[in-house]
Amino acid sequence: MYHSWELKLCATHSHPMELQTFRSISFAGHGRFWKHSISGRKCFSKNIKTLVSCSYSTEENDTLPSVKQLCNAKVIYAVAPALGHNKESHPESSARVPAIVTALEKMELTSKFRGSDILELQNFKLASADDIASVHAKAYVLGLEKAMDRASEQGLIVIDGSGPTYATATVAASKNQLDPPMGFALIRPPGHHAIPNGPMGFCVFGNVAIAARHAQRIHGLKRVFIIDFDVHHGNGTNDAFLDDPDIFFLSTHQDGSYPGTGRIDEIGHGAGEGATLNLPLPGGSGDTAMRTVFDEVIVPCAQRFKPDIILVSAGYDGHVLDPLASLQFTTGTYYMLASNIKQLAKELCGGRCVFFLEGGYNLDSLSYSVADSFRAFLGEPSLAPGFDNPAILYEEPSTRVKQAIQRVKHIHSL
């Protein structure tokens, strides 16, 4: 089921076809041109609307959060659940983001309970196709426009060679704020499989890849460090920046999992050689493996690269309860990653960091893990012990994990 090759474009009552995406969170200027990330709708054609967005100043819209609200927030998030996009029994379902939102409410991790510490962005603005074309071929974008025209008439169409997804997201973060908030784009569908010339594996547009280019072009954040801890290799992001020395792509993923890319010896080429690091982990790898990877691989790579911003493809499908893979991360692993990445961003790039939701298909482990990530952002203790069940874990393949780590450290001179 995960390898199905369909693109579902759904008609809704409000608009014939709605595509969901989250876009850019940015704080540019010293309080004068503060901008932030919002989602919006753009007409690709007369009847087709897609949720995308561009950053713009608060001077343009009185309903946007004030500079004071942006400064006081510790976590800023936006929600784009793509409710109109759903296929019965498909793991990448419309229930994913609502499950997270429900968990955040239940666990009192919203502004209703936390006041100014947590800010949800609810205003939407148009984005141009040029933003998408900064990563994807214009021919592909135009072809998708035509496909959406057909979908507005037929309700559902199948596009050969694509996964059942139809969204994009872009984020750029604060350039001048001393202690900017963490950002989280709670979006679906995921985006890291979308290749420059087309869709793939649930993904139509590369959320993080477009975010990286936006950060560079619009906000002057030249050096972008991308961490992808989804259980599947982010081949689309990988391919977008193979020859770019200013964007470092680091992926940890399960060895042998979909889409079969991300070999340890894939390190980029040309000017970008060495700016791609792939670390396939053996099935059964768990908390101990990921903690070691973070300390021995992610940290030294980021320190050497010296990024201006860190973007994270946050896939929660490595959880032991997830049905699509066989790693055994716990909710505590994701708390550790969120907490440590936040600290890493604070040390290296003034705290500029945005997470993007990628995979995660068990609704319980997904929602609890995202909620615990929010707690990490807030500097609060993890509640993972109340959810995780150590009894279902088994011994990690520590020897094979150690060998993989040592090999990648040798390849990249860490």
The confidence band for 308, taking pLDDT boundaries of 50, 70 and 90, is very high
The confidence band for 124, taking pLDDT boundaries of 50, 70 and 90, is low
- Bridge-based pairing of strands 40-45 and 48-52 is antiparallel
Is the backbone of residue 115 left (phi > 0), alpha (psi -120 to 50) or beta? left
215-250 tens-digit pLDDT:
998 889 999 999 999 999 999 999 999 999 999 999
The confidence band for 138, taking pLDDT boundaries of 50, 70 and 90, is confident
Distance CA 215, CA 398 (A): 38
Tell me which of 136, 192, 193, 232 is the catalytic residue: 193
The residue among 76 and 155 whose pLDDT is bigger is 76
Taking residues 296-321, report their average pLDDT. Answer: 97
- Domains in the chain, ordered, with CATH? 73-412 (3.40.800.20)
**296 pLDDT above the threshold of 80:** yes
Q: What is the DSSP letter of 198?
A: B
Distance CA 335, CA 380 (A): 10
Distance CA 204, CA 138 (A): 13
Give the pLDDT of residue 150: 64
- Bridge-based pairing of strands 48-52 and 17-19 is parallel
pLDDT above 90 covers what percent of the chain?
Answer: 55
pLDDT above 70 covers what percent of the chain?
Answer: 74
Cis peptide before 259 (omega within 30 of 0): yes
369-387 tens-digit pLDDT:
999 999 999 999 999 999 9
Task: Measure the N-to-C terminal CA separation of the chain; round to a whole number of Å.
Answer: 39
The residue among 139 and 414 whose pLDDT is bigger is 414
**27 pLDDT above the threshold of 80:** no
Which residues lie across from 334 on neighbouring strands? none
pTM above 0.85, yes or no: no
**340 pLDDT above the threshold of 70:** yes
Taking residues 14-19, report their average pLDDT. Answer: 29
Taking residues 78-104, report their average pLDDT. Answer: 81
Distance CA 22, CA 9 (A): 18
Following CA atoms 139, 144, 149, 150 in sequence, which dihedral angle do they give, to the nearest 10 degrees? Answer: 110
Q: Comparing 155-159, 184-188, 218-222, 319-323, which segment has the lowest mean pLDDT?
A: 155-159
Give the pLDDT of residue 274: 97
**Per-residue three-class SS string for 31-74:** CCCCEECCCEEEEEECCEEEEECCCEEHHHCCCCCCHHHHHHCC
Taking residues 276-282, report their average pLDDT. Answer: 98
Q: Kindly report the average pLDDT of the chain as a whole number.
A: 79
**204 pLDDT above the threshold of 60:** yes
161-195 tens-digit pLDDT:
544 443 322 243 344 555 689 999 998 878 888 88
User: Quick check: is 193 catalytic?
Assistant: yes
**359 pLDDT above the threshold of 80:** yes
Q: Comparing 115-119, 171-175, 268-272, which segment has the lowest mean pLDDT?
A: 171-175
**120 pLDDT above the threshold of 70:** yes
Q: Which two tokens stand for residue 24?
A: 């850019």
